[in-house]
Amino acid sequence: MRILAVGDVVGERAVRELRHMLSEISRKYAPDLVIVNGENAAGGRGLTPPLAKDIFSAGADVITTGNHILDNSTVLDYLDSTDRVLRPANFPPDTPGVGSCIVPVSGFRVLVINVSGTAYMKEEAASPFLSAEHILRTNSGAYDFAVVDIHAEATGEKLAFARYLDGLRELRVAAVWGTHTHIPTADARILPGGTGYVTDLGMTGPENGILGIRSDIIITFTKDRLPQKFEVADGKTVLDGVIFDIDGETAIASAAKRIRL
């Protein structure tokens, strides 16, 4: 089966344009499961219930998130009402929402996990390694294969996490992808154990900016160290993602193909 993983959606305009972009991708690649990171949909920081519903309406089956998911208070009750919008599973236990779900797709049960990295991240989070492994072992027998979104800053942490799970073949992790940096990496591949991997999907948002935010704001923020209110950039929207082809019987990926629209 084929899974499409879509990079962090930045801003409301990208959410609006997502329907057309996913429709075009679906016509060309026919994914069985679409997983979209909605981390930055609300003005570049966080997510709201209406925007989550728009992302689902555009064609997403599951929404993953990351460090900004709790920035907008309107989403807190919504997280407790659905298991298809995930927050990092290694956030503190009393955090609203869940960090994983099992989705039936084309006769297979797909376990989708969302974790946060800990290197260079400000948010309090437990070990993504141990948290993901706990979920996988706890749900053993209830899923056919698993995929994981690790929302992290450090490239080394993402690859170490993926290689760790790739070495635990009994846990049937078929794909691991990184999000958060908004920069697409050129290392989409299959790890030795059969896990599809990419360090970062990239983003879905305006390319005329810096990480989807207006360039002048980010330059002032980084060059002069002055507080700034982030505003989403203008310019055409790009969608970055990776398509993973997975054998549902063996939980092994046969292809990891980067796409940009």
Q: How far is 18 from 1, CA to CA, in rounded Å?
A: 22
Catalytic residues, which ones?
Answer: 68
Euclidean distance between CA atoms 58 and 125, whole angstroms: 31
φ/ψ of residue 218, rounded to 5: -70, -35
- Residue 12 sits at φ, ψ, to 5 deg, of -65, -35
How far apart CA 54 and CA 126 sit, in angstroms, is 31
CB atoms within 10 A of CB 95: 18
Strand 100-105 versus strand 196-198 pairing type: unpaired
What's 127's DSSP letter? -
Do residues 37 and 64 make contact, with C-beta atoms less than 8 angstroms apart? Answer: yes
Whole-number Å distance between alpha carbons of 137 and 170: 9
Between β-strands 2-6 and 62-64, what pairing exists: parallel, antiparallel or unpaired? unpaired
| Other Cβ atoms closer than 10 A to 134 | 14
- With H, G, I as helix, E, B as strand and everything else as coil, classify residue 33: strand
> Under DSSP, is residue 242 helix (H, G, I), strand (E, B) or coil?
strand
